[in-house]
Amino acid sequence: MAITAEMVKNLREKTGAGMMDCKAALAETGGDMEKHWISFARRVLLPLPKASRTASDGCVSSYIHAGGKIGVLIEVNCETDFVARTDDFQNLVKDLAMHVAASNPLFVKREDVPAAVVEREKAFTSIKYAP
State pTM to two decimals: 0.47
Q: What is the pLDDT along the chain (131 residues), one digit of tens a residue?
A: 678 888 888 877 776 667 787 787 778 777 776 666 666 666 665 555 555 667 778 899 999 988 888 889 999 998 888 888 899 999 999 999 999 888 888 888 889 999 998 888 888 776 665 55
Distances (CA, A) of 64 to 1, 71, 72, 88: 50, 4, 6, 21
Answer for the pair 73, 109: CB distance below 8 angstroms, yes or no. no
